[in-house]
Amino acid sequence: MTHGLFITFEGPEGSGKSTHAHRVAERLTACGYEVVPAREPGGTPTGEAIREILQHDAAGEPVAPQTELLLFASSRAQLVQRVIKPALARGAIVICDRFADSTTAYQGYGRGFDVERVLSLNDWATGRVVPDVTLLMDLDVALGFERIHQRNLEAGHGEDRFERETLEFHQRVRDGYLALAARWPERFRIIPSDQPVSVVQAAAWDAIAGLLPALPEGGRHEG
């Protein structure tokens, strides 16, 4: 039985989920909570090695769609066992930048794998660990890619494997996310991310505020 709180941030490319996950984590830490940030793929040495293959072509060869699906599941299994379950067991708040819903949206809806089979694989890889709340940063696909283009220009690097996919692929991904939110409305909170950052951040905080566990006696976590 877990006693912490598991929050995930999801969304299509350019939706700002990483930025907002980081800001929520900072605010929770300032409030006195123990916050464990995580990201997918990644979050462990094994997961980060997989991330380099999946996003940055580290293997030096094209990744087959089936391999892609299984590598995401492998990275997630390692993250759950090494980071997420231990953190929740000690009462921490885990904030994960993407989780199993990303695989369902990208590899299920985006790549065209059977969605129910992907969901079953996710359940097996995670040991049925499910977020308490999922904040879906929703954004028009074309606007998201305008943001990505500008970000990459400023950073001086090119697009990763998924950013090189077609807009049609990413539209299927966005539609998949919205389908998942409709399927599990008790878990998902849809936040339009084309609003000012302060508005999006306020909506993100409102989505989790009522779920926060009580602080330890004395008002702050002692690390």
Specify the CATH architecture of the domain 5-209.
Answer: 3-Layer(aba) Sandwich (3.40)
Note the pLDDT of residue 219: 55
Given a cut of 90, whether residue 204 has pLDDT beyond it is yes
The residues with which 7 forms a beta bridge, in sequence order, are 95, 133
Res. 206 pLDDT band, cuts 50 70 90:
very high
Kindly state the percentage of the chain with pLDDT values over 70: 96
Note the pLDDT of residue 3: 78
**What does the angle CA 210 – CA 138 – CA 107 come to, to the nearest 5 degrees?**
110
Cα dihedral angle (158, 165, 9, 149), rounded to 10 degrees?
A: 40
**Paired tokens of 199:** 């508005």
Least confident among 103-107, 137-141, 180-184, 210-214 = 210-214
Determine the distance from the C-alpha atom of residue 50 to the mean position of all C-alpha atoms in its chain, rounded to a whole number.
16
- Residue position matching structure tokens 């350019």: 14
E-state strands within the chain: 5-10, 35-39, 93-97, 133-138, 188-192
Given a cut of 50, whether residue 60 has pLDDT beyond it is yes
The residues with which 188 forms a beta bridge, in sequence order, are 134
Model confidence pLDDT, tens digit, residues 131-148 = 999 999 999 999 998 998
Q: What is the pTM for the complete model shown? A: 0.92
Given a cut of 60, whether residue 62 has pLDDT beyond it is yes
- Residue position matching structure tokens 């009462």: 91
Model confidence pLDDT, tens digit, residues 79-91 = 999 999 999 999 9
CB 137 within 8 A of CB 15: yes
